[in-house]
């Protein structure tokens, strides 16, 4: 069995320290990516909410147009009469 010396222990500890540094760097990179993804998701949610609002406004406009057309048809007596 190899003799355990202070030098060997020191070398192993340096390797562990180097690996820990690489792990810390990787963790920071992952945190940055998650932060970026989080911002993108918030942007998409905002866009989706805006689209929902736009669709609601379109439905309101169509409803108003439908009411106008219905009134015009009544005035012009163009309303559908049941066929006999």
Q: What tens-digit pLDDT sequence spans the chain (84 residues)?
A: 678 899 999 999 999 999 999 999 999 999 999 999 999 999 999 999 999 999 999 999 999 999 999 999 999 988 776 554
Number of domains the chain contains: 1
**Alpha carbons 11 and 22: distance in angstroms, whole number:** 17
**Alpha carbons 23 and 35: distance in angstroms, whole number:** 18
Supply the range of the domain harboring residue 68: 32-76
In a domain, 3, yes or no: no
In a domain, 25, yes or no: no
**Alpha carbons 15 and 72: distance in angstroms, whole number:** 85
CB distance 73 to 79 below 8 Å: yes
Q: Classify 52 as helix, strand or coil.
A: helix
Global model pTM greater than 0.85: no
In a domain, 19, yes or no: no
Residue keyed to tokens 């736009």: 54
Q: Tokens representing 31?
A: 């945190």
């Amino acid at each position: 069995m190899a003799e355990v010396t202070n030098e060997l222990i020191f070398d192993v500890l340096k390797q562990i320290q180097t690996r820990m540094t690489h792990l810390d760097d990787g963790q920071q990179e992952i945190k940055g990516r998650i932060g970026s993804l989080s911002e993108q998701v918030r942007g998409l949610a905002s866009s989706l909410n805006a689209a929902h609002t736009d669709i609601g406004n379109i439905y309101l406009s169509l409803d108003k147009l439908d009411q106008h057309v219905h009134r015009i048809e009544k005035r012009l007596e163009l309303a559908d009469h049941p066929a006999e």
